[in-house]
Structure 1
Amino acid sequence: MKPWNPTSVPAPIGKYSHLIEVDSAPRWIFISGQVGVRTDGSVADTMHTQTLQAFANIDALLDEMNAGPGHIVRLLTFAVGVDDVPDFYRARDEVYARWFPDGLYCGHSLAVVAALARPEIVVEIEGWVAVPAIGTARP
């Protein structure tokens, strides 16, 4: 995959790339919205910790696919309320420092919403992943 930011449009205002070019014939995998719920069923208590947990869940799902963050084409985040968005950004930046150390980010959109499926859930992240044929190395 090739992330790029053409000069014909303004530079991204955040940690994302405007375009992601996907090599031909990948296996497309769609990650349903991941929330800040741990494997024991408990819910993390803040936007920051829920975001870290949602990303940890995505990391675990990538491992299940023998994939890595470099296979992520796009993420879509739903965050409850604008006041805690800085805590989302802080957690995302911690994860992105590990996932995208070269600064070449996947596509990403953030939507601020009134609520999610359960009142204690404050963030949900879904993803689009392009995985090469089974058995190839992770990027």
Structure 2
Amino acid sequence: MEYEKITRKNPSSMPAPVGNYTHITKIPRNAELYVTSGQVGVDQNGQFPQNMNEQVSNTFTNIKTVMESEGLSAENIIKVNIWATEKIDWEFFDSEWEQLFSNDYPAMTIGYIVELGLPEIKIEIEIWAAKV
């Protein structure tokens, strides 16, 4: 039996992704699924910076920490849901994204909303991951 792994692809019959994501991420049948709560921009002292980019940076740190706690890395991430309450600085965000994923992107959804769980939260990112 061939080794099964997480695969990502963009069907040639579709327009290319408009950002750093993949249209389809497929996980093998017997993979173990992990779903995180939305990770937010809180720092290690429980404080939320006022600056959106600082919250983005903290959010990515928190994503890496929660993933590592289960022995997972970016290659295990299959889907990312992003919610933000103010405009994302895509140049900054993409630099953090690239550090995490290189160029092997998961499926992704982004939404701008009025508010998140606490008034000081500007961004929240939920991770779906799988381990084969």
Which residue does 2:91 correspond to in 1? 90
Which residue does 1:47 correspond to in 2? 52
- Structure 1, residues 89-130: CA drift from partner, whole Å, max 9, x if none? 2333122222222x2200111000011111111100001010
- Are the aligned partners of 2:75 and 2:104 in contact in 1 as well (CA < 8 Å)? no
- Structure 1, residues 18-66: CA drift from partner, whole Å, max 9, x if none? 0001123111110100110012111122111111111110100111011
**Unaligned runs of at least 5 residues, structure 1:** 133-139
* Aligned-partner residue type, residue 26 of structure 2: E
- Are the aligned partners of 1:70 and 1:99 in contact in 2 as well (CA < 8 Å)? no
Q: Is structure 2 residue 127 aligned with structure 1 residue 122? A: no
Which residue does 2:67 correspond to in 1? 62
Moved more, 108-117 or 43-52: 43-52
Which residue does 1:137 correspond to in 2? none
- Are the aligned partners of 1:80 and 1:112 in contact in 2 as well (CA < 8 Å)? yes
Separation of aligned partners in 2, 1:66 and 1:33: 19
Separation of aligned partners in 1, 2:60 and 2:99: 11
The two structures have a TM-score, normalised by structure 1, of 0.86
Which residue does 1:14 correspond to in 2? 19
SS of residue paired to 2:126: strand
* Aligned-partner residue type, residue 53 of structure 2: H
* Aligned-partner residue type, residue 98 of structure 2: A
SS of residue paired to 2:116: coil
Which residue does 2:109 correspond to in 1? 109
CA RMSD of aligned residues (A): 1.2
The two structures have a TM-score, normalised by structure 2, of 0.90
The sequence identity of aligned pairs, in percent, is 28
- Are the aligned partners of 2:40 and 2:121 in contact in 1 as well (CA < 8 Å)? yes
